[in-house]
Amino acid sequence: MSKIVVRGGNELKGEVNISTAKNSVLPIIAGCILSGGKCIIDDAPMLEDVFVISDVLRTICAGIDINRSSNRIIIDSSNIEECDPSSDLVKKMRASFLIMGPMISRFGKFKLSLPGGCNIGTRPIDLHLKGFSALGAEVNVGHGYVEAYAKKLIGSKIYLDFPSVGATENIMMAAVMAEGETIIENAAEEPEIEDLGRFLNSMGANVIGAGSDTVRIIGVKNLKGTRHKPICDRIEAGTFMIAAAITRSKIKINGINEEHLKPIIAKLTETGVKIKVNGDSMIVDGTGRLKPVDIKTMPYPGFPTDMQSQMTALLCTIQGTSIVTETIFENRFMHATEMKRMGANIKIDGRSAVIEGVDRLTGAEVRATDLRAGAALILCGLSAEGETQVTDIYHVDRGYVDIEKKLQGLGADIERVE
């Protein structure tokens, strides 16, 4: 199994290009099922999660052509069948559940293995199911499976108790060919949902307001194939912003959307990091004296939970007390134990972490407990004295394209060891 070895202390300089967003491309690949034809995804991020959802689609007879040199994925959904996809694949990645909405929409019935919890929380799917039921589907859960059946899906008004990203996406995809109008209230507002709305509309759907708290979907009879480039990855961009800050360096990050990065820019600016945006590029200057800050994760446009562990890494290196509160997932502080092995001073109190910044982190062997935790430990390694080895790096490969190569390009002393 591969691990990443970082020898800390190098100043970073130069430029890095951000890839397109994992959390946009996964629902979009699932959405291709709806077209019944060919969809082309340009500039797709070549990531483990993308390969897994592609394999899930293959098991239901989609034709998938992934060209790793041009980053293009062609998905032919004309031969998709309403059959049972491999439950091992579905269990491997929770986002596989995003095929449920499109499959019910296209075939009127579908059975899928229940996604389990994961390291960061139990992650129920009750809101997805509530949405399918509201559209007229009969939903049954049992023996490790979810089964949904609907003679005809009919548009409805659905209020989400919590603005769940996945539930908003799954319900949008179930509703695009339902009869009449669907309104999702208290919908998640993440930019990836706006991107999914744009993608569905380019297939001929009529989705209004995706990316706001109220999404209106007027059902259409059928959809056609399309071509789409996903938005850039705001979490990858944020991770590189912190790479600059934690090494007290100045770098340029290309391929960003300032609007999507607002909560991250605001918090880093509060610490004293200087950020200058010019179109789709930004200069991040972490060379000044940095101050502690408090953060609380919230649904978009609040501070993203997917940046919590990376921000925690930075705050461990800033003198003074910072408090990080996690409100989205109940178990997203596993990285704290690993960071303590590197000399971090973190105390967990329920949903909050109290961090006392230390002069210097020290290299150690640490384990990536989930995707963003792994990225955060690499960030700690960049600033630590000596060598850090991050094991279980497959978590990081799920969501970061060539992370060690991109950091090498910025001057970091980092390598992957098989």
Mind telling me the catalytic residues?
118
34-73 mask for ligand EPU (x: CB under 6 A)? ----------------------------------------
Using CB under 6 A, which of 306, 326, 397, 404 touches ligand EPU? Answer: 306
| Alpha-carbon distance values, 8 to 12, 103, 289, 379, 385 (Å) | 11, 48, 19, 9, 6
Query: What's the angle, vertex CA 154, arms to CA 149 and CA 156, rounded to 5?
Result: 115
Q: Which residues ranging from 127 to 156 are in contact with ligand EPU (CB under 6 A)?
A: 127-128
Can you tell me the distance from the alpha carbon of 230 to that of 10, in angstroms, rounded to the nearest whole number?
33
Using CB under 6 A, which of 36, 121, 209, 301 touches ligand EPU? Answer: 121
Closest approach, Cβ 28 to ligand EPU, in A, equals 11
Q: Which residues ranging from 374 to 413 are in contact with ligand EPU (CB under 6 A)?
A: 399
Can you tell me the distance from the alpha carbon of 261 to that of 281, in angstroms, rounded to the nearest whole number?
12
Using CB under 6 A, which of 18, 39, 56, 125 touches ligand EPU? Answer: 125
In 150-203, which ranges are E strands?
Answer: 157-159, 181-185
| Interface with ligand EPU, residue 166, by CB under 6 A | yes
Using CB under 6 A, which of 123, 216, 341, 351 touches ligand EPU? Answer: 123
Element (H, E) at 23: helix 22-31
State which residue, 21 or 207, has the beta carbon closest to ligand EPU.
21
Asked if 365 and 380 touch (Cβ cutoff 8 Å), the reply is no
Using CB under 6 A, which of 19, 23, 35, 312 touches ligand EPU? Answer: 23
Using CB under 6 A, which of 198, 252, 372, 395 touches ligand EPU? Answer: 372
Asked if 66 and 24 touch (Cβ cutoff 8 Å), the reply is no
Closest approach, Cβ 19 to ligand EPU, in A, equals 13
| Interface with ligand EPU, residue 124, by CB under 6 A | yes
Can you tell me the distance from the alpha carbon of 116 to that of 147, in angstroms, rounded to the nearest whole number?
16
Say whether the peptide bond before residue 301 is cis (omega within 30 degrees of 0).
yes
Q: Whats the size of the chain, residue-wise? A: 418
Residues within the annotated binding site for phosphoenolpyruvate? 22-23
Binding footprint of ligand EPU on the chain (CB under 6 A): 23, 26, 95, 121, 123-128, 162, 164-167, 188, 305-306, 328-329, 371-372, 399
